[in-house]
Structure 1
């Protein structure tokens, strides 16, 4: 009696499992075959599915990522184990060429030698990487930071304009000279136009003297970008002042030092002659 009951229980369990399997497979089959039974007007979801799957092109993603890195100029950093390319060109920590390697071999080498991986040339084919120690990466970052601080910040050079008459009073000229100096300190160019005064007794070279007087108030700071030249049929003179470059500033300082030494040596020589 117990054996018959056990057999019925086993059969019922098998039957229940078969029903569950048929329901699961039936649902899956209906889902797969349903799009084929739809009318042509209802085929839009299929098209959107195909368009969506097109975005998963790994080759396109890698190419886009390389272009983005090349354009943005990624910072110097440790790549770690996240190597997007299968095959890369590897240099060791001393700069020796290790040749073309698979990323799995590179990761194994990193673990064996306790090194880091840094991207050197992402635009190369294959991309170039270098093995480095943590100290080397730190030193390279510091060197790049110092270079960035030393390099002048490139930007558009502004040109300020200033116009006044040659009859200007000395107090007003001093005020304008201070304004020009402030612009020069901010690395701006200054275009100065001096109109000829109505005074008939005015010397012909007075406007040029005013330009030189303004320039003498900024020794070692500015020079002529364009020298004074007549405009408006000779009724005015115009020039452009610009700040000195770093090289010109150094040369000016060296010249000042030499002049100072020459004066000191000249004074010493005079005193010796007097003693004789």
Structure 2
């Protein structure tokens, strides 16, 4: 089954007839549906078709937004000023549209106070509540505790 470049159906013809007709029109024969009965082929300029596909892919890539994951490290016994500095940096990342991973590493005897670390993390999330949501709540993994924050989508 052959389809012309303008979409008109030319009917069923042999492979050699289709190639000869395409050669006369200075076009290529492109098999669109090889598994159909009979197989469907189309006359087209293959180079132009390839160029248009590449252009569509470029446009799709251009409209993509890359979201990166930034990390902020806290400690269970962090001072107020240090906490505010980390909070300010974390808010900058979230406002830019990046996801934020907040982590705490427990050293030595700090392992006995994991609840203090959880409080610090939840306090951090609470201070960012206007621009971010908690994607994953604080989880303990050995000596580390992680939490992920995601920026709130704009309602446009």
- Bin for the TM-score computed over the shorter chain: 0.5 to 0.7
Q: Do the aligned residues in 1 keep the contact of 2:90 with 2:100 (CA within 8 Å)?
A: no
1:168 to 79, 85, 89: 79
State the TM-score, normalizing by the size of structure 2. 0.54
Instruction: Determine the C-alpha separation between the residues in 1 that align with 2:64 and 2:120.
Output: 41
Match of 1:223 among 128, 133, 144: 133
* Residues 102 and 146, structure 2, Cα contact 8 Å, conserved in 1: yes
Whether contact under 8 Å (2:76, 2:120) holds in the other structure is no
TM-fit CA distance, 1:92: 2.0
Q: Distance in 2 between matches of 1:144 and 1:210?
A: 40
**Aligned pairs, how many?**
141
- Which structure has the greater CA radius of gyration? 1
Task: Identify the structure with bigger relative contact order (alpha carbons < 8 Å, sequence gap 6+).
Answer: 2
The correspondence for 1:212, drawn from 96, 102, 126, is 126
Question: Aligned-pair distance for 1:241?
Answer: 0.6
User: Secondary structure of 2:18's partner?
Assistant: helix
Structure 2 counterpart of 1:105: 17
Q: Could you say which structure has the higher strand fraction? A: 2
Q: Distance in 1 between matches of 2:35 and 2:72?
A: 46
Aligned to 1:178: 89
Q: Is the 8 A contact 1:189 1:241 kept in 2?
A: yes
Q: Does 1:143 align with 2:56?
A: yes
Partner of 1:90: 2
Give yes or no for the alignment of 1:196 onto 2:116: yes
TM-score by length of 1: 0.36
| RMSD of aligned Cα (Å) | 4.5
Q: Deviations over 1:114-168 (max 9, x none)?
A: 33333434555665432125796344542343234435679xx868574422653
**Residues 39-68 of structure 1: CA deviation (Å, up to 9, x unaligned):** xxxxxxxxxxxxxxxxxxxxxxxxxxxxxx
Q: 1:162 to 1:106 in 2, by over 3 A?
A: same
* 1:107 Cα deviation from its structure 2 partner: 1.4
Q: Deviations over 1:220-272 (max 9, x none)?
A: xx43214x57x78xxxx97421245xxx23x2xx3xxxxxxxxxxxxxxxxxx
CA 1:207 to 1:243, structure 2 compared with 1: closer, same or farther past 3 Å?
closer
**Contact (CA 8 Å) 2:125, 2:149: kept in 1 or not?**
no
Bigger proportion of residues as helix: 1
Unaligned runs of at least 5 residues, structure 1: 1-88, 198-204, 255-276
